Amino acid sequence: MSRICQITGKKRMVGNNVSHSKRRTKREFAPNLKTKRFWSEEEHRFVTLKVSAAGIRTIRKKGLHTALKDAKAAGFVNIY
């Protein structure tokens, strides 16, 4: 899974660069992904995830265990 957030499921979007003369060329909008280790209290180990900035906020808000359970139910992560 490259360039996909494992918590929120955000992935690249395709759009247009629009020049001054209104000429349009294709471009890619990439999500703000970071590879980050999170400490799991239930398993007493680190879990490495590729998450977006919004995914990090979700983990801080809900907790790692709940966020991973929701992501697995949505099909974004398969390691948990």
Give the per-residue SS3 of 1-66. Answer: CCCCCCCCCCCCEEEEEECCCCCEEEEEECCCEEEEEEEECCCCEEEEEEEEHHHHHHHHHHCHHH
Give the count of beta carbons closer than 10 Å to the beta carbon of residue 66.
Answer: 12
Residue pLDDT, tens place only, 4-46: 999 999 999 999 999 999 999 999 999 999 999 999 999 999 9
Q: How confident is the model at residue 2 (pLDDT cuts 50, 70, 90)?
A: confident
Q: The whole model's pTM is what?
A: 0.85
The domains located in the chain, with CATH, are 13-74 (2.30.170.40)
